[in-house]
Amino acid sequence: MNLSKYSFGIGDRFGLQGKSQLKAIIKAKQAGIDIAPVWNKSFREHIIVNSNPSDTREEADDAVKSLEWNGDYFVDADHINLSNVDQFIESSDFFTLDVAEYIGKPASQEDISSFMDKNKKYVGNLSIPGIEQPFHISNDSLQEISIKYLFAIMEASKIYNHIAERKGTQNFIAEVSMDEVDQPQTPVELFFILSAVSMYGIPAQTIAPKFTGRFNKGVDYVGDPDQFAKEFEEDLLVIDFAIKEFGLRENLKLSVHSGSDKFSIYPVMGNLIRKHNKGIHIKTAGTTWLEELIGLSLSGNEALQLAKSIYRKGFERANELCAPYSTVIDIDQTKLPDPSEVDFWDGEKLANSLRHVPDHPDYNPHLRQLLHVSYKIAAEYGQEYLDLLNKNAETVGEQVTENIYNRHILRLFKL
Ligand SMILES: [Zn+2]
């Protein structure tokens, strides 16, 4: 199985927007941009909304069938590890092996020594084609990198082998992810991580490092876009070189997580992948659920009431809801409107406050981030929430398609 040059992760918390999401991919195709859709959903999301991996498979298959999509598509078991991968084996054909929690745990002395032996030829000046300055690698820095990352890649290899034994090596795509950590990985670290990926036999097609800057949920990138551009470009060149040096898969590419809504760096990434003729995988998730809320707001009546109730509960339970996401949100509570004020808003006002159009006078990134993490509340409404989505499917679906196509795909892939 081969992941094409451009692929787009379209997570969908509640599993009802598959068709509207695929419509965006189809619009892209009509505009000459070929993208493989990937429906990603993590174990954590399944638990919170009480869904199963087989539901995601069904959603994807249904969307593909009803819109007669004949291109590739995949179902991604997102951020899995050995403890929860089994329930994804049957329904997924893309696995994101999350080894962030193993970073920093040292491998055995023996493993470290053999890894260092294999890479000792890079000690000294490491020149990577396309990068002006060579990197200086000392024995100590190589050892430090080995201690930090080798064990994590060995774990990724265990998960990979576990899946391969059950599915067969040809029947799935493997991604290695290390993004859910505080410290970004440097391009040099990425180079040696890829050396380990090769040494431990993982035929990864995507790799998701942690980049510099903050990738907050559902809002724009916070950081220095120039620094990001430099690092991103070096990562592209490192991957190119690593493919040749370590015999990795030719189509290995970067995967950018928390890729929703990073509008200020989309053109940066887009220009660089085109400059170097590289592919990319962008993973979004929560952005579709916010479009559902926007659609409900615009639908008025009981749908608008429910959107307001979700905000009220989110506001009251902000601490609880934000806790699991503390490293990826920045909410200034003083900028959150009081729910009793929001109760007087019409649907347009709520939609405009929530919709990610940064220069709209009503746009409020604090409200947006709070609602981003409030999907648990919608899940608690259960059938009531789903019924209103179905009842207002047209308005909701339009928001979903427009968001993915106009605000994401065009910004990133438009030539
Ligand atoms: Zn991630």
Residue 56 maps to a domain:
yes
* Interval between CA 339 and ligand 1 midpoint (Å): 31
* Interval between CA 98 and ligand 1 midpoint (Å): 8
Residue 344 maps to a domain:
yes
* Interval between CA 256 and ligand 1 midpoint (Å): 8
CATH number, domain with residue 173 = 3.20.20.70
Tens digit of pLDDT for each residue in 69-128?
999 999 999 999 999 999 999 999 999 999 999 999 999 999 999 999 999 999 999 999
Give the pLDDT confidence score for residue 201 in this predicted structure.
98
- In terms of domains, do 344 and 399 share one? yes
Say whether pLDDT at 258 is over 80: no
* Interval between CA 180 and ligand 1 midpoint (Å): 6
Question: What is the total count of domains within the chain?
Answer: 2
Residue 132 maps to a domain:
yes
Give the pLDDT confidence score for residue 364 in this predicted structure.
97
* Interval between CA 336 and ligand 1 midpoint (Å): 27
* Interval between CA 258 and ligand 1 midpoint (Å): 6
- In terms of domains, do 264 and 390 share one? no
- In terms of domains, do 157 and 118 share one? yes
* Interval between CA 259 and ligand 1 midpoint (Å): 9
Alpha-helical (H) ranges within 125-181 are 139-167
Cβ contact 363:357 at 8 Å:
yes
* Interval between CA 179 and ligand 1 midpoint (Å): 5
At residue 388, what are phi and psi to the nearest 5 degrees? -70, -35
pLDDT band at 415 (very low <50, low <70, confident <90, very high): low
Tens digit of pLDDT for each residue in 228-242?
999 999 999 999 999
- In terms of domains, do 95 and 199 share one? yes
* Interval between CA 396 and ligand 1 midpoint (Å): 26
- CA angle, residues 408, 45, 25, in degrees to nearest 5: 30
Residue 356 maps to a domain:
yes
Say whether pLDDT at 141 is over 90: yes
State the pTM of this model: 0.95
Structure tokens belonging to residue 285: 């998730």
* Interval between CA 240 and ligand 1 midpoint (Å): 22
Give the pLDDT confidence score for residue 22 in this predicted structure.
98
Dihedral angle, C-alpha 163, 165, 166, 170, nearest 10 °: 80
Residue 255 maps to a domain:
yes
Residue 1 maps to a domain:
no
* Interval between CA 42 and ligand 1 midpoint (Å): 9
* Interval between CA 349 and ligand 1 midpoint (Å): 32
* Interval between CA 305 and ligand 1 midpoint (Å): 33
* Interval between CA 357 and ligand 1 midpoint (Å): 24
* Interval between CA 181 and ligand 1 midpoint (Å): 9
- In terms of domains, do 368 and 349 share one? yes
* Interval between CA 38 and ligand 1 midpoint (Å): 14
- In terms of domains, do 271 and 297 share one? no
* Interval between CA 79 and ligand 1 midpoint (Å): 7
Give the pLDDT confidence score for residue 326 in this predicted structure.
82
- In terms of domains, do 370 and 265 share one? no
- In terms of domains, do 324 and 187 share one? no
- In terms of domains, do 281 and 219 share one? yes
- In terms of domains, do 94 and 120 share one? yes
Count, residues in the chain: 415
Helices 266-275, 225-246: crossing angle, 10 deg rounding: 40
* Interval between CA 100 and ligand 1 midpoint (Å): 10
- In terms of domains, do 102 and 249 share one? yes
* Interval between CA 138 and ligand 1 midpoint (Å): 31
* Interval between CA 303 and ligand 1 midpoint (Å): 31
The domain containing residue 328 runs over which residues? 289-406
* Interval between CA 296 and ligand 1 midpoint (Å): 28
Give the pLDDT confidence score for residue 366 in this predicted structure.
96
* Interval between CA 178 and ligand 1 midpoint (Å): 8
Cβ contact 296:306 at 8 Å:
yes
* Interval between CA 71 and ligand 1 midpoint (Å): 25
Residue 120 maps to a domain:
yes
Average pLDDT over residues 201-211: 97
Say whether pLDDT at 206 is over 70: yes
Tens digit of pLDDT for each residue in 146-176?
999 999 999 999 999 999 999 999 999 999 9
- In terms of domains, do 214 and 203 share one? yes
Percent helix, strand and coil across the chain, each to the nearest 5: 55, 10, 30
Of all helices (H) and strands (E), which one includes residue 290? Answer: helix 286-299
CA distance 406 to 415: 14
Percent of the residues in the chain that have a pLDDT greater than 90, as a whole number? 93
